[in-house]
Structures are given as structure tokens and as C-alpha cells.
Structure 1
Amino acid sequence: MTICVTGGSSGLGRAIAERFAAEGGDVFINYHADDDAAQAAAAAVEAAGGRPHVVKADMGTTEGVETLIGAVRERTDRLDQLVHCAAMAVTGSLLETDPETLTRSITVNGLALVALVRAALPLMGPGSNVVYLTSRGARFAIPNYGTLGTAKALGEHIVRYLAVECAPHGIRVNSVSPGPVETAAFRAMFPGNYRDRLDAAAKANPSGRGIELEDAAELVWALTRPELAMVQGQTVTVDGGLSL
């Protein structure tokens, strides 16, 4: 098995990489800037049973996408799972965000999914999966989240269109929407009180606890199982019922 995780050096991306590593195989860990975090993630993937390959590349550029998929191509002629978890954790309202930042957010958090699938398609085939990590802010207006939420909303729509285009190739495309979980984006949204907000969400959750990174990683893994072959183009929420 070969899996490629963008934004795989920390947070949700690392948790997903570790979960798939338990199945063995090659795990490509993409990251943008933090070399130490990438090496730590690689060590964790290896400890979990996978063969890590670290690729530094910016998903906000065509060159970065080509670098990542090129690294996969050099190692194998088959990509089983492609997970787009890389996110530009930028906060602020749409009207207060400068055009350059907004454009980059839309590119990294949304349009990069198209570029990744286009580049990876020759390596994918029947049984392959694409999973996009989204958030509640793609469907609901959340304060200080407009710049990221609109990009995630675009990503969810891209998932639906890609699902229709990829289905004839035997490739499934879905997205996973975790509830409040400690990530770089969440910390950036609420720098002064993110821990209090996570605690409050856990207290309000009908399932009796907060969302862990592993909860989302387990759902991503489950969505790629052949038993779920008819789950296509969907956004699946994992939040313990908090959003009900």
C-alpha cells in the first residue's frame, strides 16, 4: 500500500499518516516548512510499521504539487490513498483579508485538491481513494473563519465534482469534517482561549468527550476500505453528535 498525506507532519495529517502506517507500506509525508516536525512524524510512522518518505513542498504552487507527486512516482507506479490535509491556517473576515492572502488560502485549502488529483491520476486506479479534510466552517459562518471557511467550502464542492469524474476509473473521492479538535488552524482562530473552547465543546458533546485527532484519522482510514465502495462524493462528519 502507498499513501500520500499533504500536511502530514503535524496535527490531523500526522495522525492520519500514523493510522495508515499500521497497515504497512510506503507513507509519503508532505510538509511545507517545519523540518523538525517532519522528521518526528517520519519516526512515528516508522514506529507504527510504515516506511516513511518525507517530501518538502508547497501545496500552494504548481511546482510544489509536481515535486510531491514526482517523489511518489519515483518510488512506485501505484498510489492507493491520497489525503489532502495541508491547510493554510489563516483567520479573519473576508472583507478584512487582503486579496493576496485570500487567493493563497483558496489555492492551498481548495484548488490544490484539483492539481493533486490531476497529477496523481496516472498512478491511481480501481480501489484508490482521495480524501479531503474539511471543517464545519465550510457550511456554517463562524466568526474569524471566513478566509479559511470559504476555501474549505470550495474544497467540498470540488470533492463532489471530482467524485463524478473519478468514479468511472474506480477511484472514490470523499471528505471528512472533524468537530473541534486541536490543530494549528484552531489555535490560530482562538489564540487566547482555544483550550477553553475545546474544553467547552467536550463538555457540551452528547457523547461525553471531546474530539481527538485519532477519531478523524480512524474515519479517514475507514472511508478507504473496499467495503465502503459505494460511498462516493460525500462529506462525513465526525464530532460525536456535537453539531446535531
Structure 2
Amino acid sequence: MELALQGKKLLITGGTRGIGRGIVLAAARAGADVLTCHRQDGEAVDSLAEELKRAGGEHHVVRCDVGEISEVDRLAGEARDRFGRLDGVVNNAGVISHIPFAELPAEEWSRIIDTNLTASYRIIQQTLPLLGAGASVVNIGSRGAAAGIPLRAHYTAAKSALTGLTRSLAKELGPRGIRINVVAPGVIETEAFDAMPAERAAGLRDTYARKTALARLGTVDELAGPVLFLLSDFSGYITGETLNVDGGI
């Protein structure tokens, strides 16, 4: 059974690196047309554009800082102008920092909340006119939101609130045929591990191998698969749920 996304129009935020990049490429290879965004220019942007060309279809990689409301509104306008409709939205773009709560500046709290939570609210709201019956929204949460992680109070607060937003909107938008769910990753091995000192990367792999039922970190493709499932018609009766993709951590 294949997850047929042929011809679906998708907006996926934060698609040039890590988990977002994996979702964008998996969706394009499954036949979807994808609009994605990035905050900074660089090699990752250029290489993604090249990979999308090879995948075929109509794809667009645009610049947008989702931490700014005006930028989010412009991104929704890009989706309208380029596609005319959307069959799915993936709110993936996010930021994180590690700061003791007693030292957490108000401006850093706002930056993390705005990028990880407020952007999702605004993107969903502003793309509603493009979402018809059968459309699916997937918010990328975090397994850490349920567990709680020291030094990340601002981040876990944002991701926990994203779950509440999802559950409320599932009930509000359900009568319109729009589904909305959360995918909550555990520790996924991205290219960020390649940028670490080898000893630190090995230590993290060993730590999480001991903490997960599957005794290893997850891969980007293993995270993209469940997201594509929730974007597909195979998940047509699933909404308001949080799917933990964490290897049994």
C-alpha cells in the first residue's frame, strides 16, 4: 500500500534542514507539489531546490521568518498565488534554546513562543480559505513536551500549547472536513549530528540507545512516513491526535 499524494498541494514550513527537509523530499517523491520556506540563504537551500527538481512536480522554496506575523501572512499569500488551494499544511519550523528558567529573558521567551506556537496559529488561520474538505494539518510537536525537559521551559511550554491548539481546532474545523493532528518526534538523527564533535555525537547515540525500546535514534525518513500518512486519505478518520514517533523512549 502506497501513500498516494499525487497532485496534492502542500505547505511545509522550515523545509531546508533536518526533519523538515526529510518531510519535504518524501512528500515530493510521493507526488505532492510542495511550497516550503527557509529563514536564511545558504547551501542547504540550494541543494534542496536541486533535489526537488529531480523529484519532479511543481515546488517552491521561498524565504520567510515564521517568527514574524507579517512574514507568515506573506507566506500564506504565496500559497494562494502559486497553488490556489492547499490540501495539507505541515507546521514544522521551530527554534530551541537551552537556558535556566531563572535566567530566561522575556525576549527569548517571546522568540521561542512566537516561532513554535504563534506561527502555527497564524499559518492555519491565514490558510483556512485554501483548505477544503479532506485537507489535513500536521503540527510537529515534541515528545519532550509531555516529559518536561530542564532548561527548555519556554520550548516545552510552546509545544504543549500546540497540542491544546490542535485538539481545539480538531473539534472546530472537523465539521468542515479539515483534520488536524500532532506528530511528536523523539530524538531524530539529522545532519546536526554530523556537525558535532564525533565524541559528543557518539555519546548522544549511546545515551538514547539505552533510553529507547528500539535501542537507537530515529531517522528522518522514519519521522516523515507518519507525517505523510496523516496527510494522506488513509488517515481520513483521524483527528485531534498526538502521534509519538520516539522509538518507545
TM-score by length of 1: 0.90
Structure 1: gaps (5+ residues):
none
Separation (CA, whole Å) in 2 of partners of 1:185 and 1:22: 23
Correspondence 1:16-35 to 2 at 5 A: 16-35=23-42
User: What does residue 117 of structure 2 align with?
Assistant: 110
Alignment partner of 1:179 is 2:179: no
For 2:171, the aligned partner's letter is V
Q: Which of the numbers 212, 215, 225 marks the counterpart of 1:218?
A: 225
Distance of aligned partners of 1:204 and 1:105 in 2 relative to their CA distance in 1, 3 Å threshold: closer
User: What does residue 170 of structure 2 align with?
Assistant: 163
Q: Which of the numbers 7, 10, 13 marks the counterpart of 2:17?
A: 10
Separation (CA, whole Å) in 1 of partners of 2:218 and 2:161: 24
Alignment partner of 1:93 is 2:93: no
Separation (CA, whole Å) in 2 of partners of 1:116 and 1:63: 11
Separation (CA, whole Å) in 1 of partners of 2:192 and 2:137: 22
Distance of aligned partners of 1:82 and 1:208 in 2 relative to their CA distance in 1, 3 Å threshold: same
Correspondence 1:185-200 to 2 at 5 A: 193-200=200-207
Distance of aligned partners of 1:164 and 1:10 in 2 relative to their CA distance in 1, 3 Å threshold: same
Distance of aligned partners of 1:87 and 1:184 in 2 relative to their CA distance in 1, 3 Å threshold: farther
Q: Deviations over 1:25-53 (max 9, x none)?
A: 42111111133312212222232334320
User: What does residue 242 of structure 2 align with?
Assistant: 235
Distance of aligned partners of 1:90 and 1:54 in 2 relative to their CA distance in 1, 3 Å threshold: same
Structure 2: gaps (5+ residues):
1-7
Determine if contact 1:29/1:38 at 8 Å carries over to the other structure. Answer: no
User: What does residue 55 of structure 1 align with?
Assistant: 62
Alignment partner of 1:73 is 2:80: yes
Separation (CA, whole Å) in 1 of partners of 2:232 and 2:14: 22
The count of corresponding residues between Structure 1 and Structure 2 is: 241
Distance of aligned partners of 1:33 and 1:195 in 2 relative to their CA distance in 1, 3 Å threshold: farther
Identity value in percent: 34
- 1:56 positional shift: 0.5
Structure 1 stretch displaced more, 205-214 or 53-62: 205-214
Distance of aligned partners of 1:51 and 1:112 in 2 relative to their CA distance in 1, 3 Å threshold: same
User: What does residue 5 of structure 2 align with?
Assistant: none
Question: SS in structure 2 opposite 1:157?
Answer: helix
- 1:194 positional shift: 4.8
Separation (CA, whole Å) in 1 of partners of 2:32 and 2:181: 22
